[in-house]
Structure 1
Amino acid sequence: MLQKQKKLKIMLTGGGTIGSVSPLLAISQKIKEKNSEVKFLFLGTYKGRVEKELVKNYKIPFQPIFSGKLRRYLSFKNFIDLIFIFLGFVQSFFIILKFRPNVIVSAGSFVSVPVIWAGWILKIPSLIHQQDAVPGLANKLMAPFATKITVVFEKSLKDFPKDKTILTGNPTREDIFAGDKKRAREIFKLEKDLPVILFIGGGTGALALNKLIIEALLELTKFCQIIHLTGKNKNLLVDLKNFGGNYHAYDFLTKEMPDAYAAADLVVCRAGMGTLTEISLMGQPAIIIPIPNSHQEKNAEIFSQKNAAILLNQRELTPEILIQEIKNLLNNQEKLKILSENINKVMKSGAMEKIIEEINKICGKK
């Protein structure tokens, strides 16, 4: 484990989506437990209100930098974003010079690309973590410059250089397991004997899922209670009086998230690896609705193939179908039990310790 004799500095970088932030916070939390003297600095995006709030909750300094997204198709935005990537590179270069980290750690996202590049020029080693079943362009751009690459799925080992890639699984925040059902009833004003569905709309792609949920609300709230995470700035024109107090909407949750999970009899979510890791490790029965034509479809397929979740195709999904799927599951306790047992087996355990061990090696501590 990280020793206490020497003060370490670790730079974390990610953002744009919570999925690239959560694993880094999980890692930092565990490292701090073992060595409270380690200094962290988080480089994220200017627009990341949610990521900034999450990082702040972990008492880690947050510094935004410019970032841009490179698309795999011809677009004028690629030329504009190249300017932002260059500006982010310049910012990263001088921030790294000042902070002098022992290692830079990223879990993907385009904001990390110029940080890893600048670190490589300044001879700062780095570790990048590949969460999704399909490698993203950001990690592909960073991989040649990374010291070590960790992956969640065995199939991902072939996507990166063999000599510096290892299978670890996906780390998650340990406080996510600290939820309490009784406390959740008080926080979310829930009835004791009515099933609870946790809808996690996410960020990207939340609008389509939110629309589907809203159209199903009138029927759903007749037989269950709903905690709905809509995503930031996803204004929903909903008259709460229509749902008898059984509908509770939030942009996002931070410290209350463990209790939301504890309250849920069923989770309905996208297929980002942050959420999938959490529900897997907690054994939460789930309906997964991946964003169409995205890497999420491959993530969801892995869970579906193991009979670990119900996979629904958004292209064919209607409010009526969603209502019936939820009703069928809530009325089938045996099915819920099977899903819970199977989903709990999908994610590899011990990910946190393995990634910290690699950080330890990179920092030169044997």
Structure 2
Amino acid sequence: MKTIMFTGGGSAGHVTVNLALIPKFLEEGWSVRYIGSESGIERQLVATIPEVQYYPISTGKLRRYMDLQNVKDPFKVVKGLFQAYRLIKRQKPNVIFSKGGFVSVPVVIGAWLNRVPLLIHESDLTPGLANRISIPFATGVCTTFPETVQMLKPDKSRHVGAVIREEVKRGDAEKGRAYCGFTRSKPVILVMGGSLGSRKINQMVRQALPRLSKSFQIVHLCGKKQVDPIVTAPGYKQFEYVNEQLPDVLAMADLVVSRAGSNSIFEFLALKKPMLLIPLTKEQSRGDQILNAQSFEKSGYCEVLYEEKLTADSLIEGIERLYEGRRTYIDRMSESRDANALAAVYDWITEIARK
């Protein structure tokens, strides 16, 4: 039996591609292991797959700003590196697949030290900090955007497209309405600020709620510890995060208001959901979501509302404009090529494992 180890975490975006691939390897008889952080969201998500053994390691965060934790975290990373090295040496996997995030760096280096082949997946148009550190140690890099290949060594990278979880495509709108207590009387807006949420988006949605709820039903994924029980309105439902029911909620949604993380927006594209994207600012990130949003806007898949211009009024205007032109966005998304990225990544991983 061949063994594959997955790694990646810190946010749901660094786990979803792994969750899409894991069932395929289990179906083909592989033994599947996962190395993640001790308390990150990846541990919670992987726990839903009982066949996968989860190994927690110590990890720090790769910050771009001054913080007292920056002094402590290098020691956590070094500890995580020793833990990952010993785990890989003991488990002897045939191949390792990394989705990125700060937890992946010790695993990538541990794989290199053990001479275990490793494949990296980069979702965004430009590689993130963790992946930029990891790429020199990797056997190969899969990219979602074709432009990303131009930034990497051609013999080490392949454009595979977006890996979409199969269960996302199997949602049931009626089940979504039942889960949220919604009816068919009004269209549905799904608001997502990412697994960690967005205080600014949450605040503006709540300010806009009295006007939005007149025309729409709103399901609001607020992020960890950001549900406000005081805020209520007819046809308004809040959750911290939705996991198993997400395909049904997506199937129910007529519009999506979201950050511009690559994994999420490609899922919306696959489901032909008109989207209003509010990318993280450069002050909050390295600007990758801005590039993602601009790429989708250029293709005619979305409207973009930059956070610097985000108010309750601009949010309402953007949603109303998106809904009025929804048919145009759906038509443009229907023209996009739906490549089988999951099969391409699976084939490359098995190719590397054979070698």
TM-score class normalised by the smaller sequence? over 0.9
* Contact map agreement 1:303 1:309 (CA 8 A) in 2: yes
Secondary structure of the residue aligned to 1:228 is strand
Quick check: 2:305–2:318 contact (8 Å CA) kept in 1? no
Name the structure 2 match of 1:78: 70
Calculate the TM-score normalised by the size of structure 1.
0.91
Alignment coverage as a number of residue pairs: 350
Residue in structure 2 matched with residue 185 of structure 1 by the alignment:
177
Q: 1:248 & 1:236 partners in 2: Cα distance?
A: 11
For the residue of structure 2 that corresponds to 1:86, the secondary structure is helix
- Once residues 119 and 277 of structure 2 are traced to their aligned partners in structure 1, the CA distance between those partners, rounded to angstroms, is 30
In structure 1, the residue matched to 2:329 is 339
Matched, 1:268 2:262: no
Q: Which amino acid aligns with 2:46?
A: V
Cα distance in 2 for partners of 1:344, 1:131 equals 21
The match for 1:252 is 241
Shift of 1:118: 0.6
CA contact (8 A) 1:303 1:346 kept: no
**Corresponding residue for 2:306?**
313
**Alpha-carbon contact 1:308-1:346 (below 8 Å) kept:** no
Tell me if structure 2 keeps the 8 A contact 1:143–1:160: no
Quote the Cα distance in structure 2 between the aligned partners of 1:250 and 1:215. 17
Note if 1:328 corresponds to 2:321: yes
Q: Is the 8 A contact 2:227 2:238 kept in 1?
A: no
Q: Residues 28, 190 of structure 1: CA spacing in aligned structure 2 closer, same or farther, 3 A cutoff? A: same
What's the secondary structure of 1:139's corresponding residue? helix
Match of 1:127, SS state, is strand
State the match for 2:19 in structure 1: 25
Aligned to 1:38: 30
CA change 1:92–1:345 in 2 (3 A) is farther
The aligned residue for residue 134 of structure 2 is: 142
Q: How big is the shift at 1:174?
A: 0.1
Which residues of 2 match residues 154-165 of structure 1 at below 5 A?
154-165=146-157
Q: CA deviation at 1:21?
A: 0.3
Q: CA deviation at 1:187?
A: 1.4
| Equivalences for residues 291-310 of structure 1 within 5 A | 291-293=280-282, 294-310=287-303
Distance 2:122 2:337 in 1: 14
| Partner secondary structure for residue 33 of structure 2 | strand
Q: What is the rounded CA distance, in whole Å, between the counterparts of 2:42 and 2:204 in structure 1?
A: 26
The 1:76/1:158 distance shift into structure 2, 3 A limit, reads farther
Superposition pairs for residues 1-366 of structure 1, below 5 Å?
7-33=1-27, 35=28, 37-48=29-40, 50-59=41-50, 60-72=52-64, 77-204=69-196, 206-240=198-232, 243-244=233-234, 246-293=235-282, 294-330=287-323, 332=324, 335-345=325-335, 349-364=339-354
Q: Distance in 2 between matches of 1:84 and 1:124?
A: 23
Between 227-236 and 142-151, the greater mean CA deviation after superposition: 227-236
Contact 1:280–1:347, Cα closer than 8 Å, also in 2: no
Mapped contact 1:282–1:344 kept (Cα < 8 A): no
Question: How many angstroms apart in 2 are the aligned matches of 1:187 and 1:203?
Answer: 19
Query: Percent identity at matched positions?
Result: 33
Which residue does the alignment assign to 1:4?
Answer: none
Aligned partners of 1:188, 1:203: CA distance in 2, in Å?
19
Q: Is the 8 A contact 1:45 1:111 kept in 2?
A: yes
Distance in 2 (CA, whole Å) between partners of 1:345 and 1:68 is 42
Distance change in 2, residues 1:346/1:292 (3 Å): farther
Distance in 2 (CA, whole Å) between partners of 1:81 and 1:345 is 46
Deviation at 1:253, TM superposition (A): 0.9
Are the equivalent residues in 1 in contact too, given 2:224–2:240 (CA < 8 A)?
yes
3-state SS of paired residue (1:325):
helix
Distance 2:336 2:31 in 1: 33
For 1:264 and 1:214, locate their aligned partners in 2 and report how far apart those are by CA, in whole Å. Answer: 19
Q: 1:147 to 1:251 in 2, by over 3 A?
A: same
State which drifts further: 142-151 or 316-325.
316-325
Secondary structure of the residue aligned to 1:354 is helix
- TM-score in terms of structure 2 length: 0.94
Report the Cα offset of residue 234 of structure 1: 1.8
The code of the aligned residue for 2:11 comes to T
Cα drift, residue 65 of structure 1: 1.2
On the 8 A contact 1:12/1:106 being kept in 2, the answer is yes
Query: What RMSD over aligned residues (CA atoms) do the two structures have, in Å?
Result: 1.7
Kindly indicate whether the alpha-carbon contact (under 8 Å) linking 1:281 and 1:347 is maintained by their aligned counterparts in 2. no
User: What's the secondary structure of 2:34's corresponding residue?
Assistant: strand
Q: Which runs of 5+ in 2 are unaligned?
A: none
Shift of 1:155: 1.0
